[in-house]
Amino acid sequence: MERFDVIIVGTGPAGLGAAFELLRTKPSLRILLLDKFQVSSGGLRNDCKMNFTWPIGFPLECWDEALGNFYLKRVEAFLQPNIMEKRNIDIYAKRAEKIGVKLLDVRQSHLGTDGGLELIKALIARLSDFGAEISLGEEMLSVEQASKTVMTDKRTLQYGSLIVAPGRGGFAFLQRLMEDLGVDYHDNTVDIGIRIETREEHYSIVRDYYDPKFLFPKKTRTFCTNSHSAHVVQERYGDQETGPWYSVNGHAWSEQRASNGLVNFAILKTVTLTQPLASGQKYAQMLGHLAALLGGGKPIMQRIGDFRLGKRSFADSFTDDDLYDFHPTLPSCTPGDISLCIPAKTMRAIWNALKLLDTVVPGVMHPSTIMYYPEIKLYANRPSFVDEYFQVLPGIYFAGDGAGTSRGITAAWASGLRAADGILKSS
């Protein structure tokens, strides 16, 4: 059986951050990185906009400002991003403040989906040059703590330390792992929302600020704005047992591509559940299935103009050349009525946020604007950590979005650094 000093599961930013830090500090370590896909599947690959300002992407349960900034500096020193210029922020921020909305001033870089792929390839090649062994297309299935072994779909391996960073897509896998290992966890928080798609001139702030972060009342916020060559996409969730359901998302290509004149972004509301239901995942799954039921197995899209009039959208709401004059970038969605499947409290918070946003950036509530539902973020899988380095059991660390230690690329990278620091400290 092959033995590695450290096995890292997941080649997303958390796994990569950990691997680079371990090899930088201790080049003699024998390190294996595993990924079930050929290329990492999270945000590095999709749009790849990176935020370098506290607290974007850092869950406050695991980080404080000093710690977040300490790690952010290290992330930035390694990635050396090109920070984008912003304009007129004071004007928007003042307008927002007057109506109880906050606009965060965030340092951002943006590579686009094509640029992100280039970055992943370069990082993997660099890691390989540093001596890491990388096995793509290999899936971790389980772990046996007593013998320090990991079972994959190809072999059994021994580890000195193990970092599991499977991202949001590995949410269910991580829960299964925690149940097998007897690690306590809770997942009582979830973000539920919609994705907005509109013409760039109806959300012109993106010309001044690539991904404007607005915070509204009722724990509602804008998230993941894409523009220039922007597209709405769909992600598949669920398993054989529960059946599939879908969440929408968005990404953009780099500046090299031609513009399609559209913008998309999410408006999300954070929902925290208490007794007796404490599983955000189960709640999200029910909502996802409800949307899939009403959408005939697909997400639902509705023009704001229809929603305002209290009527569902039909196919002709998306082929009209007059008022509804742009076509959806995810045309496979079902035209329908999102208010039939989104919880009323969530819809109220989102609708209120949209009205406030339309006051700060007039135009976003144009009748042609499309609302896609559901956009659900499952990243609150909070294990009980035994130390500040995200260790859950002796020699086993969880990092990244899947374990609720981050909500974005830079924070995921930082969480990988933190796990690596723990391993280096203990060796």
Ligand X SMILES: Cc1cc2nc3c(=O)[nH]c(=O)nc-3n(C[C@H](O)[C@H](O)[C@H](O)COP(=O)(O)OP(=O)(O)OC[C@H]3O[C@@H](n4cnc5c(N)ncnc54)[C@H](O)[C@@H]3O)c2cc1C
> Which residue, 324 or 397, has its beta carbon nearer to ligand X?
397
Among 191, 200, 306, 401, binds ligand X (CB under 6 A): 401
Reference 353, options 196, 190, 189, 188; nearest CA is 196
Q: Work out how close the CB of 209 gets to ligand X at its nearest, in angstroms, rounded to a whole number.
A: 15
15 binds ligand X (CB under 6 A): yes
Q: How many residues bind ligand X (CB under 6 A)?
A: 43
Residues 184 and 187: their CA atoms lie apart, in Å, by 10
Tell me which of 4, 7, 12, 227 binds ligand X, using CB under 6 A.
Answer: 12
Spatial CB neighbours of 240, under 8 Å, sequence gap ≥ 6: none
Q: Which of 169, 295, 336, 422 binds ligand X (CB under 6 A)?
A: 169
Residues near 106 by beta carbon (within 8 Å), at least 6 away in sequence: 51, 52, 53, 56, 211, 213
Q: How many C-beta atoms surround the C-beta of residue 345 within 10 A?
A: 12
Copy the structure tokens of residue 210.
């690539």
Return the number of the residue (52 or 92) whose C-beta is nearest ligand X: 52
Query: Is there binding between residue 130 and ligand X (CB under 6 A)?
Result: no
Q: Which is nearer to ligand X, 7 or 294 (CB)?
A: 7
- The 10 Å Cβ neighbour count of residue 118 is 13
* Residues 140-159 close enough to bind ligand X by CB under 6 A: 140
Q: Compute the least distance from the CB of residue 377 to ligand X, in Å.
A: 9
Q: What share of the chain is helix, strand, coil (3-state, %, to 5)?
A: 35, 30, 40
178 three-class SS: helix
Considering only 13-21, 181-189, 283-291, 362-370, which stretch makes contact with ligand X by CB under 6 A? 13-21
68 scored as a contact of ligand X (CB under 6 A): no
Integer Cα distance of 265 and 196 in angstroms: 5
Q: Work out which of 6, 8, 9, 267 binds ligand X, going by CB under 6 A.
A: 9
x-marked contacts with ligand X along 239-278 as a string, rule CB under 6 A:
----------x-x---------------------------
**Contact mark string toward ligand X, 18..57, x via CB under 6 A:** ----------------xxxx--xxxxx-xxxxxx-----x
Q: Which amino acid is at 6?
A: V
d(CA 19, CA 132): 8
Beta-carbon contacts of 95 under 8 Å, excluding residues fewer than 6 positions away, are 359, 360
The least distance separating ligand X from the CB of residue 268, rounded to whole angstroms, comes to 13
**Residue 409: its H or E element:** helix 409-426
Interface positions with ligand X (CB under 6 A): 9-15, 34-37, 40-44, 46-51, 57, 139-140, 165-170, 173, 224, 249, 251, 400-402, 406-409, 412
